[in-house]
Amino acid sequence: MGAVRGVRRAARIAVVGLVVAAVATELAKPEAERTWNGRVFGLVPYDFRPPTWERIRTAYWNPQSDQLFSDRVFGVGWAVNLHQAKVLLEDLFDRLMGAPPLHFERSSRSVDLGEPRR
Q: What is the pLDDT of residue 112?
A: 55
The model carries a pTM of 0.71
d(CA 107, CA 26): 56
Say how far apart CA 43 and CA 38 lie, in whole Å: 9
- Quick: pLDDT tens for 22-79: 999 999 999 999 999 999 999 999 999 999 999 999 999 999 999 999 999 999 999 9
* 1 or 59: which leads in pLDDT: 59
* Res. 99 pLDDT band, cuts 50 70 90: low
φ and ψ of 112, to 5 deg: -90, 115
Is pLDDT of 84 > 90? yes
Burial of 69 (0-12, 13-18, 19+ CB in 10 A): middle
User: What are the DSSP calls for 35-83, one per residue?
Assistant: -SEEEETTTEEEE-SPP-HHHHHHHH--TT---SEEE-SSEESEEE-HH
Q: Mean pLDDT for the chain?
A: 88
